[in-house]
Amino acid sequence: ETVPAQAFSEEASDALRSGEEAIVLIHSAKAATAFVDLAMGLASEAWTMIAISEAAAAPLKPLGASRIIAADRPNEDALVAALCEASKGL
């Protein structure tokens, strides 16, 4: 059973609060909901959210991230391909 984190690690919190570009990978709708619960109110405008599926991307919309990308297929290979494409030019 997966149990949602109660808080971000200090390193993750610092990175997400910085306002700098960040890429966040989301592996499920449950993980997306847990992430949103912890991240609401942070400087999400510079974030790129990459979700493993459209269902996993849907809960991320309230964050206001600059980009929300769903992988072409709901598997790890497609998630990594989306990450590679999104990170070009960084």
Closest CA to 29 of 70, 64, 66: 70
- Mean pLDDT of all residues in 69-87: 96
Task: Provide the 3-class DSSP secondary structure of residue 47.
Answer: strand
Closest CA to 63 of 52, 75, 77, 48: 48
pLDDT at 9 over 90: yes
pLDDT at 52 over 80: yes
Tokens coding 47: 């974030």
Domain locations in the chain? 10-85
Strands 22-26 and 67-70: unpaired
pLDDT-above-90 percentage for the chain: 70
Band of pLDDT at residue 4, cut at 50, 70 and 90: confident
Show the beta-strand stretches assigned E in 3-73.
Answer: 22-26, 47-51, 67-70
Name the strand (E) or helix (H) holding 24. strand 22-26
- Mean pLDDT of all residues in 41-49: 89
Amino acid at residue number 22: A
Q: How high is the mean pLDDT of the chain?
A: 92
pLDDT-above-70 percentage for the chain: 98
Confidence at residue 3, expressed as pLDDT on a 0 to 100 scale: 82
- Mean pLDDT of all residues in 21-45: 92
List the CATH code of the domain at 10-85.
3.40.50.10090
